[in-house]
């Protein structure tokens, strides 16, 4: 019985040991700080007290405090503030660990739902976990929100497939107020006729927009809060427009840097137009796979494809490549069905997306990998594998209600 348990759920044991080992290392090295979580906690406290949320680093005694998310996002972190920072660090660490496990479990349910847990599935989920290990560690160390968002996206997908439109709309709406990445799903929802989810996203977005009125009773102060947020967004966007920057890991930057376009397209409006055209072409590729190829599968697989594309479209930190985890886990489950070329490309994609850990390869080599946007190329490799094998992978209906998960 013990052997059967380990065979089916060894990945869970590995996840727990991985999390506990990382926590122990943080405590021993006195690096258990979670500075980003402290930012969210401070924002929640200031929201409860009706204080200004958006302050520059120079104005704040805590030099890392620069809250960049929407006012309702601070509302979501009130439980963190209520627990106190020392306790909340342990709770948030536990939550992130649970969310990583839930993402992997949901992928298994969606794409291998009719099969029970076995050694192959457990090994696939474990390897997928290892492949994004560097991003997982970063999320834990800083206490960031990318894994929180990823958990919300996958849970929303499960809810949509189970025809639970209202909670799915609430989850996606709430995620938009943390980071607007979930907007990438709206065209897919529209094209697949999921109008109820779109309606509830809209309804809950309006409700959440006005929730800060519970703490800021004066309308001038309330709208001033959103004006400060918009100013923060403009500052953030203004600092991330340089396509030639090494830290720009978007597909817009990579295509621009590694083609003659960098010599042909001048700054200003032509550069913006180039990004819009590339975004349009990417959308056409998605349409092609949804409709022109008449794929039997579609929604669930395209949903995780769009999730993996988030760091390619949004200029953010490299640990945002944890969004490739659902796609990576899906491909792990399908590894046996790939030909040798796809297998080689997939392994390369895994290594490039998450295997280039700083401490493993050394600073000099890591800097070289960083300069060529190694994470971006890894994500592109994984996307290439799923697209060239789109019709080859068989349909695996998930357990529960709703359409096919494949």
Q: Which residue is it, tokens 């069905």?
A: 337
pLDDT at 104: 95
CA-nearest of 363, 398, 402 to 108 is 398
Q: Is the pTM of this model over 0.95?
A: no
Answer yes or no: is 220 within a domain: yes
pLDDT at 366: 76
Answer yes or no: is 400 within a domain: no
Instruction: Give CA separation, 63 vs 43, 107, 209, 223, in Å.
Output: 14, 39, 29, 26
Kindly give, in sequence order, each residue whose CB lies less than 8 Å from that of residue 68, ignoring residues fewer than 6 positions away. 232, 233, 236
Answer yes or no: is 397 within a domain: no
Answer yes or no: is 402 within a domain: no
Contact 57, 33 (CB under 8 A): no
Answer yes or no: is 394 within a domain: no
b/e map of 273-301 (b: 16 or more CB within 10 Å)? ebbeebeeeeeeebeebbeeeebebbbbb
Answer yes or no: is 299 within a domain: yes
pLDDT at 205: 96
Q: Which residue is it, tokens 């509302």?
A: 75
Answer yes or no: is 404 within a domain: no
pLDDT at 255: 85
Contact 249, 375 (CB under 8 A): yes
Answer yes or no: is 176 within a domain: yes
Instruction: Give CA separation, 392 vs 32, 288, 295, 377, 405, in Å.
Output: 45, 16, 10, 23, 15
- Name the residue range of residue 239's domain: 2-388
Alpha carbons 43 and 293: distance in angstroms, whole number: 48
pLDDT at 297: 55
Give the orientation angle of helix 35-48 with respect to helix 85-112, to 10 degrees. Answer: 110
pLDDT at 402: 41
User: Can you list the alpha helix ranges (DSSP code H) found in 77-194?
Assistant: 78-83, 85-112, 119-131, 133-142, 146-161, 165-178, 186-191
Contact 15, 101 (CB under 8 A): yes
Let me know if 314 is exposed, middle or buried by CB neighbors in 10 A (0-12, 13-18, 19+): middle
Alpha carbons 194 and 177: distance in angstroms, whole number: 21
Go through the chain and tell me how many residues it has: 406
pLDDT at 2: 47
pLDDT in tens, the chain (406 residues): 444 445 567 899 999 999 999 999 999 988 888 989 988 888 898 888 888 888 654 555 544 567 888 999 999 888 877 777 788 899 999 999 999 999 999 999 888 866 678 888 999 999 999 999 889 999 999 999 999 999 999 999 999 999 999 999 999 999 999 999 999 999 889 888 899 999 999 999 999 999 999 998 888 888 888 888 888 877 766 656 677 776 788 888 888 888 888 777 777 778 788 888 888 888 877 777 666 554 445 788 889 999 999 999 888 788 899 999 999 999 999 999 999 999 999 999 998 887 666 666 677 777 777 778 888 999 999 999 998 888 787 655 444 344 444 5
pLDDT at 400: 39
Let me know if 96 is exposed, middle or buried by CB neighbors in 10 A (0-12, 13-18, 19+): buried
The vertex-84 CA angle with 79 and 87, nearest 5°, equals 95
How many domains in the chain?
1
């Amino acid at each position: 019985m013990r052997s059967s348990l380990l065979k089916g759920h060894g990945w869970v044991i590995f996840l727990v040991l991985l999390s506990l080992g990382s926590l122990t290392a943080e405590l021993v090295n006195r690096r258990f700080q979670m500075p980003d979580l402290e930012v969210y906690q401070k924002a929640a406290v200031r929201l409860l007290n009706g204080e200004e949320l958006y302050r520059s680093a120079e104005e704040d005694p805590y030099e890392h405090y620069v809250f960049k998310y929407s006012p309702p996002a601070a509302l979501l972190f009130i439980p963190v503030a209520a627990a106190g920072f020392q306790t909340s660090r342990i709770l948030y660490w536990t939550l992130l660990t649970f969310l990583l496990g839930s993402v992997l479990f949901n992928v298994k349910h969606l794409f291998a739902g009719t099969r029970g847990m076995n050694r192959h599935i457990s090994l696939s989920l474990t390897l997928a976990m290892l492949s994004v290990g560097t991003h997982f560690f970063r999320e834990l160390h800083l206490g960031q929100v990318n894994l929180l968002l990823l958990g919300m996206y996958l849970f929303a997908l499960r809810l949509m497939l189970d025809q639970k439109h209202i909670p799915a709309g609430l989850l996606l709406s709430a995620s938009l107020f943390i980071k607007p990445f979930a907007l990438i799903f709206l065209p897919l929802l529209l094209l697949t006729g999921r109008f109820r989810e779109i309606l509830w996203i809209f309804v809950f977005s309006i409700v959440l927009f006005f929730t800060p009125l519970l703490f800021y009773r004066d309308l001038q102060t309330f709208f001033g809060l959103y004006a400060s947020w918009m100013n923060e967004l403009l500052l953030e966007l203004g600092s991330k427009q340089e396509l030639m920057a090494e830290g720009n890991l978007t597909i817009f930057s990579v295509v621009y840097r590694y083609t003659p376009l960098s010599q042909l397209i001048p700054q200003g409006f032509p550069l913006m137009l180039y990004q819009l055209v590339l975004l349009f072409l990417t959308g056409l590729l998605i349409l092609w796979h949804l409709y022109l190829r008449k794929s039997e599968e579609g929604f669930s697989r395209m949903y995780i494809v769009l999730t993996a594309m988030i760091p390619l479209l949004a200029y953010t930190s490299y640990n945002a490549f944890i969004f490739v985890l659902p796609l990576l886990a899906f491909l792990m489950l399908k590894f046996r069905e790939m030909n040798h070329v796809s297998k080689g490309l997939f392994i390369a994609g895994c290594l490039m997306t998450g295997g280039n850990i700083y401490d493993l390869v050394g600073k000099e080599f890591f800097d070289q990998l960083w300069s060529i946007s190694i994470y971006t190329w890894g994500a592109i490799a994984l996307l290439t594998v799923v697209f060239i094998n789109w019709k080859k992978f068989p349909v695996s209906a998930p357990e529960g209600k709703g359409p096919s998960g494949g």
